[in-house]
Structure 1
Amino acid sequence: MPRSPQGRPVTFQAGGSEDGRELAAATADAVFSLAQTIEDGAAYARDLRTRAARHGRQPDELVILPGLATVIGSTEAEARRRQDDLWDLVPVEYSLARLAGTLRIDPARLDLDKPLPDPLPLPPDGNHTMFLGTLALARRDRLTVRQLLRALGGGVGHRIVVGTPEAIADDIEAWFRAGAADGFNLMPDVLPEGLETFVDAVVPILQRRGLFRLDYAGATLRDHLGLARPASRYAETGRSLSA
């Protein structure tokens, strides 16, 4: 049986808990993260790469991709209007139910114009990354539930950047330069329009700054992510695969 041109499939992992970080450091090629601030993103990346080194891995063997939701307008005011219009389309009941699900509490405990209930125990059945990220955002910025729902994009949970193409590019560059991201798990506000706007308006800015490729360097996902092809364990042992 011929060997894959990627060596093996690219392994993605998502999870910021202690166990999740260890699993990512030991086995993942790419990691989705939930960082809301550039400082948190950089700290997460440093922690993950330190753990990876303990597993005998090199820093460039791991690609870290924070979630990034974008709302883009030709001006700042236009982008804000777009965000307001989209927010008006999200049913409050849906957003509350989704937030309550993340926090593992009854939606009736959430008052739109008050902060989150305190204390909120860590869920016993996982989903700690989204829980802790949501709680940290609410507590750090002292948000009411209504403000938190908007900050979370109605329940998306990832960081939202609203602005012009130039502002979006500035934000992406800042995260990259700070070591907080190797790339992003991109979530445009509306598909396909939001993605088309990002590709047509933001990507050229990143290319001019030398931050995004002008062409593909290879034909595989591993090539696109800048990941080396792993050595074959079968070649190392001299064994061969049977058809």
Structure 2
Amino acid sequence: MITKLAVCWICKHKGEFFQVKGPLNVPRAPQGRPVLVQAGSSERGRDFAARWAEVIFTAQPALEGAREFYKDINGRLAKFNREPGSVKIMPGVMPIIGETEAEAKRKEELLRELVHPLAGLSLLSDSMNQDLSQFDLDKPLPELDTMRGNQSRQKIVAQLAKEEGLTLAQLGKRFGASRSHRVLVGTPAQIADNFEEWLEKEACDGFNIMCPYLPGGLNEFVELVVPELQRRGIFRKEYTGVTLRDHFGLERPDPVV
């Protein structure tokens, strides 16, 4: 739809819903077009991302799974005449930060206690397009015959529940606290160590920071973790561009013709 609409801007068009007489009389945006961000890690989603996306937001709770995803996406780009690295892969991560590791763990425990299992199951039911309220909360997640919602998320949740032997209530609390994204608990240095490892092992190009609470979680990340990342040369100390596309290091796309 974006391509069709862009074509309509530069030519005469008369259709069922709108009509234009000629070119749009405004200049092109500085970044060419908005950055195209995709989320979804199923086979179909991966192919779609490799063809169209410029940034991918993905749930990757483990390093090896993230490395496989990173390699797979970059391997798919060639069939769409795109260069490796032209899509920025950014898994979600929730940093829970403390001046000491013990303090960070106490924060994590408190935050988990505040999550009601039914609230988490409601979110999970919506993500999976499955009514989980019909099942016993004190029993494990049952085997589901069909996948009707977010396929990659359902696989992650089912694997987690099986590996850790979680009841449905426990799973609801876990999902409500993290949405199946990686929860990283520790000091600023420990969090920076982890980020550095993921980048060096080609598991991602960056991270989508999901603050566990606002505004405190964001303030702690900016004031404590960002300086540590800057000291290591992982994060910029100043902006070198003026658009989101510049900040991601993405090329300005050619105009639609």
- Normalised by the length of structure 2, the TM-score is 0.83
Cα distance between partner residues in 1 of 2:177 and 2:127: 12
Query: 1:39: which partner in 2?
Result: 64
Deviations 1:112-162 (A, max 9, x none): 4x4322x223423x3112212211222344444454344435362211111
Q: Distance in 1 between matches of 2:174 and 2:114?
A: 15
Contact 2:118–2:169 (8 Å) recurs in 1: no
Which residue in the other structure is 1:25 paired with?
50
Would you say 1:160 and 2:186 are equivalent positions? no
Bigger radius of gyration among the two: 2
User: Matched residue of 1:71: which SS?
Assistant: strand
Q: Residue 231 in 1 paired to residue 254 in 2?
A: yes
Structure 1 residue corresponding to 2:107, chosen from 63, 69, 82: 82
Q: Report the residue type matching 1:2 in the other structure.
A: P
Partner of 2:211: 188
In structure 2, the residue matched to 1:209 is 232
- Could you say which residue in structure 2 is the equivalent of 1:237? none
- Pick the aligned partner of 1:178 from 183, 194, 201: 201
Q: Render the CA deviation track for 1:172-227: whole Å, top value 9, x for unaligned.
A: 11111111111111101111110110011111111111111111110000011111
CA distance in 2, matches of 1:147, 1:164: 26
Contact 2:192-2:229 within 8 A present in 1 as well: yes
CA displacement at 1:110 relative to structure 2: 4.1
For the pair 1:107 / 2:138, whether they are aligned, the reply is: no
Residue aligning to 1:120? 144
Q: Between the two proteins, what is the percent identity of the paired residues?
A: 43
Q: Aligned-pair distance for 1:59?
A: 1.5
Aligned residue pair count: 231
2:121 to 96, 101, 123: 96
Detail structure 1 runs of 4+ shifted over 4 Å in the superposition: none
CA displacement 1:58-101 (0-9 Å, x = unmatched) = 12210001011111111111111111212222222212333344
* Contact 1:69–1:161, Cα closer than 8 Å, also in 2: yes
Whole-Å Cα distance in 2 between the matches of residues 50 and 26 of structure 1? Answer: 12
Q: Secondary structure at the match of 2:93?
A: strand
Contact 1:98 1:155 in 2 (8 A): no
SS in 2 for 1:176: helix
Other-structure match for 1:13: 38
Gaps of 5+ in 2: 1-25
Aligned to 1:241: none
Report SS of the residue matched to 1:35.
Answer: coil
- Verify the 8 A CA contact 2:77 2:84 in the aligned structure 1: yes
Where 1:170 maps in the other structure, the secondary structure is: helix
TM-score, normalised via structure 1 length: 0.87
User: Matches of 2:227 and 2:178 in 1, distance apart?
Assistant: 30
